[in-house]
Amino acid sequence: MLIPAPAELARRYRVINGARFRLKDINPSDQWGKRLKPIAGEMLKQGSKRMSQLQERLYAQDRWSLLLIFQAMDAAGKDGTIKHVMSGVNPQGCEVHSFKAPSPEELDHDYLWRTARLLPRRGHIGIFNRSYYEETLVVRVHQNILARQQLPPELVTRDIWRERFEDINAYERYLSRQGVVIRKFFLHVSKEEQRQRFLERIDEQDKHWKFSPADVGERAHFAAYLAAYEDMIRHTATDAAPWFVVPADRKWFTRLVVSAIVIDAIQSIDPRYPAVDPKVADDFKRIKAGLEAEAPARKKKAKKR
């Protein structure tokens, strides 16, 4: 089977027109008819090589950056996906940041503050494992969190979620105009698959560390979370910062799709190695001649032979 172009996979799972988006149209166990299963290993291997080449050029060009935002329910596979997809990239040009419940210092600022300081610098790939989108998810599902945010009460109105969407859209448009290419992933896992993964985490000692009893508490709000996710995607899927709703019941498939989307994103930047000034190129010849003349006598002789 022919390996599909990354752009084709990206297009399939991209949401840019939020108004028409409905979460029920996406099946968490979709595997695109399983057609990619036999070549998944080869695709991931080639993908990782391609990503590594592209990242090197992104880094050398030092103009654009790539921000990858991951959101999902517990046990959807954010950590594993990040680990696998990024396994080929040079750690020097890539940073991962996880956002948990905000600290008192963070709560003393606007909600974008803590993420703004950690945006990727030019030439880098930045990964947010959860993000400011939690402000429209966990905070919406548990409104007591909102009450603890120290906001002036007159600013907390019925419009708060719409206002947050608006502000996030404006912020992401601003970032995109600054050369930050944004790709947002919702790893869409089903409630049943989550149940099985929780059971695995309890049954296998090596996975105990991944399990927190609080996650089961959140599971009780699964439907409320899905509603919040749907509304969030409907309001914040834009051309400048599209959402990708990635089926997450099959780990191999999630990884394949995310990897293709990341490759497609860097390809769309089309990063190039910076051209060397012709004058500097002339200098290279002179410097090279000098370095060669410095070779120890034995090597010079060996070269003559």
Interaction site with ligand ATP (CB under 6 A): 74, 78-79, 99-102, 129-130, 134-135, 138-139, 145, 212
Residue 263 · residue 47 · CB < 8 Å: yes
Pairing of strands 243-247, 180-188: parallel
Residue 60 C-beta: closest distance to ligand ATP, Å: 32
The continuous run of DSSP H or E covering 114 comes out as: helix 113-116
Strand order in the sheet with 243-247: 14-15, 243-247, 180-188, 65-72, 125-129, 94-98
Closest to ligand ATP by CB, 30 vs 74, is 74
Residue 148 C-beta: closest distance to ligand ATP, Å: 9
Closest to ligand ATP by CB, 23 vs 138, is 138
Closest to ligand ATP by CB, 258 vs 263, is 258
Residue 131 C-beta: closest distance to ligand ATP, Å: 8
In angstroms, what CA-CA distances link 105 with 101, 108, 110?
A: 12, 5, 10
Closest to ligand ATP by CB, 50 vs 201, is 201
Residue 134 C-beta: closest distance to ligand ATP, Å: 3
Q: Residue 33: left if φ>0, alpha if ψ -120 to 50, beta else—which one?
A: left
Closest to ligand ATP by CB, 92 vs 103, is 103
DSSP states of 17-35 as a string?
A: -GGG--GGGS-TT--GGGT
Residue 72 C-beta: closest distance to ligand ATP, Å: 8
